[in-house]
Structure 1
């Protein structure tokens, strides 16, 4: 029996839900989804809520790239369904601001400037509000500002004991290539905290339970109807 919970994914750029492959954000196009005829994030979120979703992952690509933001849309969606938001927040001030718009805020390795900031964030905020995202590109930790590897991350995550950790294989995003289990194996003992993302397929769902992963981020395979909602 499959019990892993799907968290639907919406990437937002210039006010629209968009989709693409392997993190190549410049090539992303308006999202085509079975949940609504338009690429309006608010309309799509409403349909997902009606389908039973009780949480949604949003990446504000403009905010992450520091090219503006879509926080007004995020706030509107958060009134419909609780949002787990990646907007590039990486320190106390940016996390504080983001929590005005979303239920939870993601602190991602891609935009984290210092590990010390991570400890400060966890000392000041309820751990349930903060989600750490381990962003992986070509089997290496993606970080714009630090040299990070899997062993350093695991050591610090064991100390912090976050309740939720996203393990996001960006190379697999939009490909429906399946879970990269080798990445999961880099973090023994933390599996129960993981939310896996990147290329999730219907065939993966049964394996997720066996590997102890309770939640998964699904974008492409959910929006094209390949995976049926299990919210």
Structure 2
């Protein structure tokens, strides 16, 4: 099972996510790094465990303030031989192409950034093997074109179930929602994101069919040990 650390970046600094309320995000304070600089935080996370993938949320790109184009090149120096997933709010083929110009980048497309299924088709055609779809939910409501959620044949080989309002909360993952999506995924790898509090939650989503989980708070709060990470990754 893949455990994928999440690094949320706004205005050049790593921020702590709180229930998906991005206006409330503040620079992170973590025992893993002396500063909220993305490279420092990435080094601290990598010291915990040799994670194979990292997920980067470029919140400036997602919120329309302009993409942090230096992020992937800079982090690839700190995280060699690591697959870097990045969501920069790409809602068009040209925006997707700009992200994919970095050879180490895997493009994450959040459904909240898509206006239509046609936009998704255009983006996914650019580099299907390097594109992940994030099905975004807030308060139980899907954020994105309804047809994209309804027709699983549109989904790529890797899909994230992202419950935005549970990110950085103590609410726990929405296992029921995850199970519904995973049951329709037809052999695709499905990843859970939002609300994961501890190893018990990781076990629950694994039993629900998760190929992996995106996490942040449990790493910075040291609610999971290096030994746990090694054991989970080995299963």
Summarize the alignment of residues 28-39 of structure 1 with structure 2, pairs less than 5 Å apart.
28-39=25-36
Q: Report the TM-score, using the length of structure 1 for normalisation.
A: 0.88
Task: Report if the CA contact (8 A) 1:56-1:84 is conserved.
Answer: yes
Partner of 2:190: 194
Residues matched between the structures, number: 220
Measure the CA separation in 2 of the matches of 1:23 and 1:208: 20
- Cα deviations by residue, 1:117-159 (Å, 9 ceiling, x for unpaired): 212233331x22101001100000123xx4x2xxx33443x32
Task: Report if the CA contact (8 A) 1:131-1:162 is conserved.
Answer: yes
Establish whether residue 122 from structure 1 lines up as the match of residue 119 from structure 2: no
Partner of 2:158: 164
Measure the CA separation in 2 of the matches of 1:217 and 1:228: 16
Partner of 1:54: 52
Task: Report if the CA contact (8 A) 2:117-2:148 is conserved.
Answer: no
Q: After TM superposition, where is structure 1 displaced by more than 6 Å over at least 4 residues in a row?
A: none
User: What 5-or-longer segments of structure 1 have no aligned partner?
Assistant: none
What secondary structure does 1:124 align onto? coil
Summarize the alignment of residues 61-72 of structure 1 with structure 2, pairs less than 5 Å apart.
61-72=59-70
User: What 5-or-longer segments of structure 2 have no aligned partner?
Assistant: none
What secondary structure does 2:125 align onto? helix
Q: Report the TM-score, using the length of structure 2 for normalisation.
A: 0.86
Measure the CA separation in 2 of the matches of 1:228 and 1:113: 41
